[in-house]
Amino acid sequence: MLATSAQGLRSLQLRERLLDRVELLQTLLAEQVQTLPWGNESWLDTERELVAVEQALERIPAVDA
C-alpha cells in the first residue's frame, strides 16, 4: 500500500513538472515563431521537445482530486 502511494505521488509530481514544461515550451515556441528571422528554424527543436513532453504526459495517468 505504501509503495503504491509513493508511486502515485511520484507520478503526480512528474505530471506536474511536465505540465509546467508544456506551458513554458508553448510560450517559448510562440515567441520563437514570431521573432526568429526568416530561415532560422531553431524553433523546430522546441516543437520536437513540446511533442515529446505531451506524449510523456499521455502515458502518465491523470489523478482525480
With pLDDT > 70 as the criterion, what percentage of the chain qualifies? 91
Question: Is 65 inside any structural domain?
Answer: no
Please give the residue range of the domain that contains residue 44. Answer: 1-59
Q: How far apart are CA 14 and CA 12, in angstroms?
A: 5
Question: Is 33 inside any structural domain?
Answer: yes
Question: Is 44 inside any structural domain?
Answer: yes
Question: Is 64 inside any structural domain?
Answer: no
Predicted confidence band of residue 5 (pLDDT cuts 50, 70, 90): confident
SS3 content of the chain, % helix, strand, coil (to 5): 80, 0, 20
Q: What is the pLDDT of residues 32-58, one digit of tens each?
A: 988 988 888 888 999 999 999 999 999
Contact residues for 56 (Cβ-Cβ < 8 A; gap 6+): 18
CA dihedral 22, 25, 27, 31 (to 10 degrees): -160
Number of domains comprising the chain:
1
pTM, two decimals, is 0.74
